[in-house]
Amino acid sequence: MTEVGIDAIEIETGKLKLDLAETFAPAQGEDPGKYTKGLGLDASSLPDTYEDIVTMAANASHRLMKRKGLEPEDIGRIDVATESAFDNSKPVSTYVAGCLEQVFDGDFLHANKGERKFACVAGTQALDDAFNWIRAGRNQGRKALVIATDTALYARDDPGEATQGAGAVAMLIDENPDIVTFEPEQGFGSADETDFLKPNQQFPSVDGKRSMQVYLARMREAMQDFVRNGGDVHPENFAYVPFHTPFPGMVRKAAPLGYRHCVRGTDIEEALAEEIGPQPRSDEFDTSEEFLDAITEYTKKLQETDQYREWYERAVEPTVDISSQVGNWYTGSVHLARVSGLFDALDAGRDVTGKQLLVASYGSGAQAEIHAETIQSGWQDELEAMTIFEQIEDRHDISFQEYEDIHDVHNHDETTDVEPMTTPHEEFVFDGWGRMGERQYRYVE
């Protein structure tokens, strides 16, 4: 069976930086520690006046296609995952293709284009669709472009405002890929939930605390399903465990629950039992409250053990590095976590070729998905070609007044006249509205 997976990745961050400790916390009258320590976030990336989900997606895709020497005819499928779409009919992928056709000679006339929606898990679902399309042999030698792009903005004064972000991750899916191949086993945890949603509105309605509980519950179910479907979860078998990262503090809460599950029935569980006692099992308790108390107590002790700490610091902590600097990118977030983990290996000079990633995706509403990936021999060259850290460094650090202005610019209910805070260069920009209410774009040399 042909191996299929991610051959190349390019990332585009919003050009503005909102420093949460220095700029946001003082204006909110909050202790900076809430952001940096509690949520684990230093800054949010935000889009300048001329940036949006299309420009970020098109800029990432343009860079990816140029670097890989691709022409539009090489691409048989473009899927955009987003929860920030501005059109209920025309998919964002058509806008992105239109942008790219401005700079390439050919066109995407025969590429199947679509848009994937299920909150933040849609990016992983779009990867899945591309994998299945290629595995089914319907690609005719062509590749798929999957783009996760979002402007993850919350209404002003919503608690979610602390976790905002904006950016796009473009991924090329192909046979015999350079970065990772997808393993076939998957696990799902999926239920009709009302915790975070956007019923025909721009900014989400969020029950923040509940959304965190729903995240943990669906992840647990997905893990159980993954194991039932034959997936291996032994903690030592994975170089990194990238989670969907709305903010690093969420991953800090999910990781011990995942580890607890992964060590069951292993030599690690036995060693831990000697130190902190055996893992409580639900059938040993008369009531669910008693079980919950016991498992909460056990999980607290687990987090203090050397085994857990070493695993967390090696396999999980490095995956939240980029997120801590850019915030939540919704559909792109777990794909940033994958890249972040691989950069850790690159920086440490560690060859992780042939090792696996356990990828834990999540979308509110709500669904978690877990699958494994195997790292391929071209991963170092691909990572070295990426510019994400330079882009993060180059962002324009905005004042609180500028933040208020830029939030209004991206608020569909406001009419504003705010000047760009950065100067576009060799990139796609938003260029005003067309006669049918469409958004228009042009390439700036």
Binding site for ligand HMG (CB under 6 A): 31, 33-34, 37-39, 83, 119-120, 159-160, 162-163, 196, 206, 208-209, 211-212, 215, 244, 246-247, 249-250, 328, 330, 362-364
Min separation Cβ 24 and ligand HMG, Å: 12
CB-CB contact of 215 with 362 (8 Å) = yes
SS (H, E, C) 130-180: HHHHHHCCCCCCCEEEEEEEEEECCCCCCHHHHHCEEEEEEEEEEECCCCE
Min separation Cβ 51 and ligand HMG, Å: 20
Q: What is the helix (H) or strand (E) element at residue 226, kind and residue range?
A: helix 208-228
Residue 244 annotated as catalytic? yes
Residue recorded with tokens 């610091």:
313
CB-CB contact of 121 with 364 (8 Å) = no
Min separation Cβ 333 and ligand HMG, Å: 7
Q: Which is nearer to ligand HMG, 330 or 379 (CB)?
A: 330
Min separation Cβ 143 and ligand HMG, Å: 27
Q: Which is nearer to ligand HMG, 182 or 203 (CB)?
A: 203
Q: Which is nearer to ligand HMG, 208 or 420 (CB)?
A: 208
In the chain the first and final C-alpha atoms are separated, in Å, by: 44
Of the candidates 10, 12, 51, 83, the residue annotated as catalytic is 83
In sequence order, the 6+-apart residues with CB closer than 8 A to the CB of 323 are: 41, 165, 245, 247, 248, 329, 333, 336, 337, 340
Q: Please tell me the distance from the alpha carbon of residue 88 to that of residue 190, in angstroms, as a whole number.
A: 24
Min separation Cβ 33 and ligand HMG, Å: 3
Task: For residue 121, give Cα distances in angstroms to 240, 244, 333, 335.
Answer: 19, 8, 9, 10
Q: Which is nearer to ligand HMG, 61 or 361 (CB)?
A: 361
Q: Please tell me the distance from the alpha carbon of residue 338 to that of residue 179, in angstroms, as a whole number.
A: 10
CA angle 332–75–178, rounded 5-degree value: 60
Is the bond preceding residue 366 a cis peptide, omega within 30 degrees?
A: yes
In sequence order, the 6+-apart residues with CB closer than 8 A to the CB of 143 are: 7, 70, 74, 75, 76, 77, 172, 173, 174
Of the candidates 244, 371, 407, 410, the residue annotated as catalytic is 244
CB-CB contact of 169 with 148 (8 Å) = yes
Using Cβ positions, the residue closest to ligand HMG within the complex turns out to be 38
Min separation Cβ 409 and ligand HMG, Å: 22
Of the candidates 10, 115, 120, 183, the residue annotated as catalytic is 120
Q: Please tell me the distance from the alpha carbon of residue 391 to that of residue 409, in angstroms, as a whole number.
A: 22
Q: Which is nearer to ligand HMG, 159 or 277 (CB)?
A: 159
Q: Which is nearer to ligand HMG, 37 or 110 (CB)?
A: 37
Min separation Cβ 120 and ligand HMG, Å: 3
Q: Which is nearer to ligand HMG, 148 or 358 (CB)?
A: 148
Task: For residue 269, give Cα distances in angstroms to 52, 310, 361, 370.
Answer: 47, 15, 25, 22
Helix, strand, coil shares of the chain, percent, nearest 5, are 45, 25, 30
Residue 120 annotated as catalytic? yes
Min separation Cβ 362 and ligand HMG, Å: 6
* Residue 81: HSE in the Cβ half-sphere, 13 Å Cα cutoff: 29
Query: Which tokens hold the place of 391?
Result: 């882009």
Q: Which is nearer to ligand HMG, 325 or 364 (CB)?
A: 364
Catalogue the active-site residues. 83, 120, 244
